[in-house]
Amino acid sequence: MVKDSKFYDLLEVSPDATPDEIKKGYRKMAMKFHPDKNPGMEDKFKELTHVYEILSDPEKRQVYDEHGEDGLKEGGNMDEEDILSAMFGFPFGKMGGGKRRGGKQQGRDIAFAVPVTLDDLYNGKQTQFPINRTVQCLACNGKGTNKPNSVQKCASCNGQGAKIHLRHMGFGFIQQVQEACEECGGSGESIAEQDKCEKCHGEKVFEEEKKLDVYIDKGMEHAQKLVFSGEADHLPGTTPGDVILVLKMEEHAEFKRSKNDLLTTKKITLFEALCGFQILIKHLDGRSLVVKSAPGEITKPGDTKIIEGEGMPQYKNPFEKGKLLVHFDVVFPENGSITVEQAKILATVLPTPEKFDIPTDAEKVDFNEKNLDEEDYEDEDGEGYEDGDGEGEGGNPRVACHPQ
């Protein structure tokens, strides 16, 4: 049961209509009484739009069902500002932010990208980050003037801080749009020029630079957020929002990161690949790591070896570290650099090639002098051919590391 069915009757729907039925009813009646098709029906169309705004909102519909139109005018369980806030999406006369019931309007959060290096994320860093923010003028306590009774209601918007305009959307629909009053900037107030605060010139606020102390802990990641509560704009009558700093990791010349692991690539000669190597790795904290291959171990092109405990420190547990993956790129001798005599010596120690019989009708062909590059042999999907199931040279799995 509803106290008044007038709104439902205007849309030609029943009081127990679903939201979808209410929407269809409004569309039908809006098309019927649209001013473009029926001149002189502007008031009727506005009434239908108002009715739809009430019935399409669950809270306002409940107030109407229980208290009728008088309940909406008196507010029922909702005051006028709450009704307007629900209708337009933000507190009436105040642009942006949101209202806390029983408290101040909540200011907007602001975010900034903070460039960091992989070294910063490995070692940790303390720095300062400057921001510009709007703060309340202390000279006038955010009133715009120090003279009593000098603040007047804006005549242009009647103190509301905003004006409502009708916008034609096409297909016979009109949208109500609320915009901040240009005369008072959305404040709903006006101050005579001679009465304005000398410091803020009646603006109630001024711009200041604030330096935030930023602590980048070891193991933090790319895109990780640092939240500084209440450090955003300090505007009169609002609760300050937060400043959110988002870490943006720059590419490193030697290392790539994959979660808590690090990947680096080292070039070794063919001699080192066959006879053993010793390499030096300059780590992100300045330490020099020396590692060598095991006696008799052969390193194939594309091999990846693991050094435990030399990866990234874990966030909030920096004494635990991931793995350091060393990917090997074997550099072969240049064409023509090995003589016939040297080749004979190599033949005494290297595995001999498999022998096979050549058919009498075999044709002799030559290789093109140009080596095939990766871009020369893309398949139909734009992907290069690979040997095996996603494996690199030497049968080792490919390692894919992406910055976080």
What domains can you pick out in the chain, each with its CATH number?
6-78 (1.10.287.110), 110-249 (2.60.260.20), 259-357 (2.60.260.20)
Region 347-363 average pLDDT: 88
Lowest mean pLDDT across 5-9, 189-193, 376-380: 376-380
Residues 301 and 393: beta-carbon distance below 8 Å? yes
What is the band of 279 on the pLDDT scale with cuts at 50, 70, 90?
very high
* pLDDT tens per residue, range 257-272: 999 999 999 999 999 9
Lowest mean pLDDT across 44-58, 128-142, 146-160, 359-373: 146-160
Residue 20 has pLDDT above 90, yes or no: no
More confident residue, 38 or 380: 38
* pLDDT tens per residue, range 192-226: 777 788 788 777 888 889 999 999 999 999 999 99
Residue 399 has pLDDT above 80, yes or no: no
Residue type, 258: S
Q: What is the tally of helices (H) and strands (E) in the chain?
A: 8, 20
Q: Over pLDDT 70: what percentage of the chain?
A: 77
Compute the distance between CA of residue 242 and CA of residue 234 in angstroms, rounded to an integer: 10
Q: What is the pLDDT of residue 404?
A: 39
